[in-house]
A and B are shown apart, each in its own frame.
Chain A
Amino acid sequence: MGRHQAVAKTYRRTRPVDWGRSVHRRRYMRRELTSVFLIAYALVLLSGLWRLSQGEAAFDAWRAAMSHPLALVGHAVIFVAALYQTISWFQVMPRTLPDSQIRPASITRAGWAAAAVASVLVLALFIVGGAK
């Protein structure tokens, strides 16, 4: 690529990328890792939808499986990962938006607030739905 020619004799270092080299890289890897848990939870929900399509008995069996202690522990782990993903993603969100006069910290706090409001709404729907 390009008209500039590389120097003929150089030493090319071939070493794997060190993802733990800096605090920024480690923070990035933690953020990306938590997204794997979000995918896992999406698959759990999809499996529930799939079991629902197979009839009431299949769905009840899926719900029973979800009540197993191991499933509950899994949900707790996914919840913590989702919380970390939410917090860390809104921390980096300002750099994904166009330049503006709004302070990055304000954008982050607005994101957290939106996530909190959405969570409360979902929880309220769950409580109202469960009461009926």
Chain B
Amino acid sequence: MTAQASPRTIRIEAMRFNPETDKEPSWKGYDVPFRDDMSVLQGLQYIKDHLDGSLTFRWSCRMAICGSCGMMVNDTPQLACHAFLRDYMPGPVRIEALDNFPVIRDLVIDQTSFLNKLEAVKPWLIPRAQRTPADGPNRQTPEQMQKYHAYAQCINCLLCYAACPQIGLKPDFAGPAALALMHRYNADSRDQGWPARAEMANAEDGVWGCTYVGECSEVCPKAVDPAHAINQNKANSALDYFGLGKKLAPSEGGQ
């Protein structure tokens, strides 16, 4: 058993904003002792527990599953639990709220715009005919599941929105996660919902709002690849424009 190295110290500079007293955010620095296995989230938790209890941030699972702790770490959208302090030595680490979102307090953003965009793409199965439990399981083959499985891994962490420059330019653009989840359902063999989602996909703020910078896919912690989802749907949108929408329906059945 090797001796554990003594803790080192790194400076964390956190964006602070109190809506009750501040007109705009400011920066505050904290010297945080850390070991090699400590994440940026654990650094923030150390600050909250030992240095400044007023620092506000979202977190939950600590294992890149819940998508709560998205923030800008040295200008890069990251899950704080998925980034390690050792990689930012000698520091400082600058942490601020996710880009392209209004700030509620400190590192907490207002997700309302995303919730509305997500709902607009109808992210649920829209079958041709309504099913009941009496119909039994709605089966599909592994090949059919493979068509959408990667896109179903989205955890709504919103790193892709902070990475997307088009969201910064056009706040109404539906954005990477919502459009990736739209594709997740369009590509599902149990779903026949393209006509219901076509208006959103075809809109200026739909897939055509993307100019394919591709940074959304680079920052995604779950390898969802929103850029692929969006850009293959530009072809689908064009097919729909020429009245070839029927070709967009995934094959049904396949027990």
Residues of chain A whose beta carbon lies under 8 Å from any beta carbon of chain B: 1-7, 9-13, 17-19, 21-22, 24-25, 28, 32, 92, 94-99
Contacts and interface: CB of A to CB of B under 8 A. Distances in A.
Interface residues of B, number: 40
Contact of B168 (A7, A17, A32): A17
B116 A1 contact: yes
B252 interface: no
B103 A11 contact: yes
Contact of B116 (A2, A11, A22, A94): A2
Interface of B: 17, 19, 22, 24-25, 75-76, 99, 102-104, 110, 112-113, 115-117, 119-120, 147, 163, 165, 168-169, 172, 187, 211-215, 217-218, 225, 227-228, 231-232, 234-235
A29 to B, nearest CB: 9
Nearest to B226: A95
A69 B164 CA distance: 42
Given A1-B120, A17-B168, A96-B231, A11 B17 contact: yes
B16 to A, nearest CB: 11
A19 to B, nearest CB: 7
Given A21-B75, A92-B212, A95-B225, A7 B116 contact: no
15 contacts: A2-B116, A2-B117, A2-B119, A4-B115, A7-B112, A9-B19, A10-B104, A22-B76, A22-B215, A24-B213, A24-B215, A95-B225, A95-B231, A98-B235, A99-B228
A53 to B, nearest CB: 34
A31 to B, nearest CB: 9
B102 A11 contact: yes
Contacts of A2: 112, 115-117, 119-120
Contacts of B231: 95-96
A92 B218 CA distance: 13
B236 to A, nearest CB: 9
B110 A96 contact: no
A92 B232 CA distance: 12
B15 to A, nearest CB: 10
B212 A97 contact: no
A38 to B, nearest CB: 16
A98 B232 CA distance: 5
A10 B232 contact: no
A3 B51 CA distance: 39
B112 A4 contact: yes
Contacts of B116: 1-4
Given A7-B102, A10-B110, A95 B214 contact: yes
A92 B112 CA distance: 32
Contact of A3 (B102, B119, B235): B119
A121 B110 CA distance: 56
Of A1, A5, A9, the most chain B CB neighbours within 10 A belong to A1
